[in-house]
Chain A
Amino acid sequence: MSRMFNRINFTRVVGLLLVAIAAVSVSCSGVKMGNGAGNSAAGSAIRLQGSGASFPKPIYEKWVSEFGKIHPNISIDYQATGSGAGQKALVAKTADFGASDDPMSDDDMKAGGGGILHIPTVLGAVVLTYNLDGVKEPLKLSGETIADIYLGNIKKWNDERLKKDNPGVTLPDADILPVYRADSSGTSAVFTDFLSKTVPAWKEKVGMNKQPSWVTGVGVGAKGNDGVMGQVKQTPNSIGYVELTFAKANNLPAAQIKNKAGGFVDASLESVSAAAAATVASMPDDLRIQITDADGNGAYPIASYTYILVYKEQSDAVKGKALADFLWWAVHDGEKFAKDLHYGPLPADVVTKVEGKINSMTNGGKPLRQ
Chain B
Amino acid sequence: MAQTGAIGDKIFRSVVLIAAASILVIVAAIFYMMAQNSIPTIERFGIGFLIGREWRPAQEQFGALPFIYGTVVSSLIALFLSVPISLGIAIFLVEQAPKRVARPIAFMVELLAAIPSVVYGLWGIFVLAPFIRNYLGPFLQDYLGWLPLFQGRLTGIGMLTGGIILALMVTPIVTAVVRDVLEAVPTTQREAALALGATKWETTRIVLGNAASGIAGAVVLGLGRAIGETMAVTMVIGNSPQISASLFEPANTIASLLAANFAEATDKIYLSALIEIGLVLFLVTFVVNALAKLLIMSVAGSANSAKHV
User: Footprint of B on A, CB under 8 Å?
Assistant: 81-85, 87-88, 175, 177, 182-185, 207, 209-214, 216-217, 219-223, 227, 230-231, 234-235, 238
Q: Are B263 and A85 in contact (CB under 8 A)?
A: yes
Residues of B within 8 A of A87 (CB): 266
Residues of A within 8 A of B242 (CB): 216-217
Residues of B within 8 A of A217 (CB): 240, 242, 244, 249
Extra pairs beyond A82-B263, A221-B240 (14, CB < 8 Å): A88-B266, A183-B261, A183-B263, A184-B265, A209-B58, A216-B242, A217-B242, A220-B238, A221-B250, A223-B235, A227-B234, A230-B125, A231-B125, A234-B130
Interface centre among B249, B260, B261, B263 (most CB of A within 10 A): B260
Query: Interface segment, B150-158, B181-189, B206-214, B278-286?
Result: B150-158
Q: Are B125 and A81 in contact (CB under 8 A)?
A: no
Residues of B within 8 A of A211 (CB): 57-58, 261, 264
What distance in Å separates the Cβ of A225 from its nearest Cβ neighbour in chain B?
13
Q: Are A184 and B261 in contact (CB under 8 A)?
A: yes
Q: Are A210 and B239 in contact (CB under 8 A)?
A: no
Q: Which residue of A lies closest to B264 (CB)?
A: A184
What distance in Å separates the Cβ of B281 from its nearest Cβ neighbour in chain A?
17
- Docked Cα-Cα span, A88 to B61, in Å, equals 22
Q: Which residue of A lies closest to B58 (CB)?
A: A209
Q: Are A222 and B59 in contact (CB under 8 A)?
A: no
Q: Are A214 and B264 in contact (CB under 8 A)?
A: no
In the assembled complex, B222 has its CB within 8 A of some CB on chain A:
no
- Docked Cα-Cα span, A223 to B258, in Å, equals 12
- Docked Cα-Cα span, A82 to B260, in Å, equals 12
Residues of B within 8 A of A83 (CB): 264
Q: Which residue of B lies closest to A212 (CB)?
A: B58
- Docked Cα-Cα span, A207 to B58, in Å, equals 9
6 A-B pairs with the lowest CB-CB distances in the bound complex, closest first: A221-B239, A184-B264, A220-B238, A182-B239, A213-B56, A84-B266
Residues of A within 8 A of B61 (CB): 213
- Docked Cα-Cα span, A9 to B262, in Å, equals 43
Which residue of A213, A216, A230, A234 contacts B58 across the interface (Cβ within 8 Å)? Answer: A213
Given the known inter-chain contacts A220-B157, A231-B157, please indicate yes or no for A183 contacting B264, CB distance below 8 A: yes
- Docked Cα-Cα span, A155 to B42, in Å, equals 39
Residues of A within 8 A of B163 (CB): none
Pull 11 A–B residue pairs with CB atoms less than 8 Å apart, ordered by A.
A82-B263, A182-B234, A182-B261, A183-B264, A213-B59, A213-B61, A219-B250, A220-B155, A220-B240, A234-B130, A235-B157
What distance in Å separates the Cβ of A41 from its nearest Cβ neighbour in chain B?
34
- Docked Cα-Cα span, A213 to B63, in Å, equals 13
In the assembled complex, B70 has its CB within 8 A of some CB on chain A:
no
Q: Which residue of A lies closest to B304 (CB)?
A: A2
Residues of A within 8 A of B139 (CB): none
Which residue of B155, B249, B259 contacts A235 across the interface (Cβ within 8 Å)? Answer: B155
Q: Which residue of B lies closest to A186 (CB)?
A: B264
Residues of B within 8 A of A223 (CB): 234-235, 239, 259-260
- Docked Cα-Cα span, A243 to B122, in Å, equals 21
- Docked Cα-Cα span, A103 to B67, in Å, equals 32
Residues of A within 8 A of B264 (CB): 82-85, 183-185, 210-211
- Docked Cα-Cα span, A27 to B236, in Å, equals 37
In the assembled complex, B167 has its CB within 8 A of some CB on chain A:
no
What distance in Å separates the Cβ of B10 from its nearest Cβ neighbour in chain A?
18
What distance in Å separates the Cβ of A88 from its nearest Cβ neighbour in chain B?
5
Which residues of chain B from 214 to 235 have a CB within 8 Å of any chain A CB? 234-235
In the assembled complex, B137 has its CB within 8 A of some CB on chain A:
no
Q: Which residue of B lies closest to A223 (CB)?
A: B260
- Docked Cα-Cα span, A81 to B57, in Å, equals 19
Q: Which residue of B lies closest to A182 (CB)?
A: B239
Q: Are A220 and B250 in contact (CB under 8 A)?
A: yes
Which residues of chain B from 150 to 206 have a CB within 8 Å of any chain A CB? 153, 155-158
Q: Are A177 and B58 in contact (CB under 8 A)?
A: no
- Docked Cα-Cα span, A59 to B260, in Å, equals 24
In the assembled complex, B129 has its CB within 8 A of some CB on chain A:
yes
- Docked Cα-Cα span, A175 to B248, in Å, equals 14
Which residues of chain B from 113 to 162 have a CB within 8 Å of any chain A CB? 122, 125-126, 129-130, 133, 153, 155-158
What distance in Å separates the Cβ of B300 from its nearest Cβ neighbour in chain A?
14
Q: Are A85 and B156 in contact (CB under 8 A)?
A: no
Which residue of B155, B234, B241 contacts A177 across the interface (Cβ within 8 Å)? Answer: B155
Mask, B94-117, CB within 8 Å of A = 1, is 000000000000000000000000
Which residue of A84, A214, A219, A234 contacts B129 across the interface (Cβ within 8 Å)? Answer: A234
What distance in Å separates the Cβ of B132 from its nearest Cβ neighbour in chain A?
11
Which residue of A184, A185, A219, A230 contacts B240 across the interface (Cβ within 8 Å)? Answer: A219
Residues of A within 8 A of B156 (CB): 234-235
Residues of B within 8 A of A88 (CB): 266
Given the known inter-chain contacts A82-B264, A85-B263, A227-B235, please indicate yes or no for A234 contacting B125, CB distance below 8 A: yes
